[in-house]
């Protein structure tokens, strides 16, 4: 029977075992456990934070790696291709939960939930905070990256009354909820910025998107604009973001991802009233393990039966 080594910080291994006895599951608790078992495994399930490049030494041709995340910039996919290692991500797993998290960040800012919660802990009934709140209805949202998550956000944003525009590398292949005149190519992204009230980032991290959101973007946005990042930290030039917040070029930022993770304790982002920080949990929920286990087992059936794998990258 095939063996799957599962290395993760949620109970995916035990969840898979509860659902089936095929494949055989080895639950790795440490990097050393992975190194001890990976050479004999057929499948390796992990996430970017748990990947170590020296794991490559234990992979043989034909091994399948299933990531629990969408982004795969931490994985050496070119090396996988050279070694005939199959790699799949979890592209369809996070659409709803990440889009809901993006809305949680934007509404936490507009409804000033930071100071409201501070007042709650002090038992301080201070209604003056209401004067600092604002409405999103009728404002322009620009979604930078119209993949599955970006599309999910765009669909929900229309229901909230946003005027939604999107940026896609190849607009001609777009077939979602936005009309053609609302979807622009990456090269036209800056043309949308002066009218953008809320910029939501959902692109993968690539050489092209690294620091795509920089000082020029922040200066082109209105001073009342908010940036929400549920993509990858390095998509944003974090120093430029801090400068824009400090000088009032931006109204606020909702951030689930950062250039350095964990976010250093001395980062000024922790203490800013105009910033909401969450610890890269946009894709998490109480049912994460079971949702992922079902996705994995569906792909496992395909792999076992010689069918094409879903979400295959390599």
Residues annotated as part of the active site: 232, 261, 280
Exposed e or buried b per residue across 194-216, where buried means at least 16 C-beta atoms within 10 angstroms of its C-beta: eebbbbbbbbbbeeebeebbbee
CA distance 97 to 84: 33
Tokens of 284: 């998490």
CA distance 293 to 287: 10
Q: How far is CA 8 from the centre of its chain?
A: 17
For residue 117, what are the contacts with CB-CB under 8 A and spacing of at least 6?
none
CA distance 40 to 203: 36
**Contact at 8 Å (CB) between 218 and 190?**
no
CA distance 172 to 238: 32
Starting at the edge strand found earlier in the chain, the sheet holding 275-277 runs 183-184, 163-167, 140-144, 198-201, 226-229, 252-255, 275-277
- Give the residue ranges of DSSP H helices in 20-112: 31-37, 77-82, 95-110
CA distance 129 to 113: 9
Tokens of 261: 């993770």
Which of 251, 155, 272 has the alpha carbon at shortest distance from 202? 155
**Contact at 8 Å (CB) between 264 and 241?**
no
């Amino acid at each position: 029977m095939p063996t799957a080594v599962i290395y993760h910080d949620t109970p995916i291994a035990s969840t898979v075992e509860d659902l089936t006895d095929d494949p055989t599951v080895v639950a790795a608790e440490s990097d050393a456990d992975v190194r001890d078992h990976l050479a004999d495994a057929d499948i390796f399930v992990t996430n970017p934070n748990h990947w170590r490049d020296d794991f490559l030494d234990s992979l043989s041709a034909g091994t399948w790696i299933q990531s629990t995340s969408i982004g795969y910039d931490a994985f050496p996919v070119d090396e996988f291709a050279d070694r005939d290692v199959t790699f799949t991500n979890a592209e369809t797993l996070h659409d709803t939960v990440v889009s809901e998290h993006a809305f949680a960040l934007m509404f936490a800012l507009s409804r000033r939930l930071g100071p409201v919660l501070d007042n709650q802990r002090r038992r301080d009934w201070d209604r003056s905070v209401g004067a600092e709140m604002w409405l999103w209805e009728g404002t322009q949202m620009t979604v930078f990256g119209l993949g599955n998550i970006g599309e999910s956000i765009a669909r929900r944003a229309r229901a909230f009354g946003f005027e939604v525009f999107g940026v896609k590398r190849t607009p001609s292949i777009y077939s979602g909820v936005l009309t053609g005149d609302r979807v622009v190519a990456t090269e036209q992204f800056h043309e949308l910025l002066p009218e953008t009230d809320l910029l939501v980032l959902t692109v993968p991290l690539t050489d092209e998107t690294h620091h795509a959101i920089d000082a020029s973007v922040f200066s082109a946005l209105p001073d009342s604009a908010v940036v929400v990042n549920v993509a990858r930290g390095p998509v944003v030039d974090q120093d430029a973001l801090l400068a824009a917040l400090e000088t009032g070029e931006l109204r606020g930022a909702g951030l689930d991802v950062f250039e350095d993770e964990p976010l250093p304790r001395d980062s000024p982002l922790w203490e800013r009233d105009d910033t909401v920080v969450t610890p890269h949990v946009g894709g998490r929920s109480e049912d994460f393990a079971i949702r992922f286990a079902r996705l994995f087992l569906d792909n496992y059936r395909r792999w076992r039966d010689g069918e094409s794998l879903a979400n295959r990258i390599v």
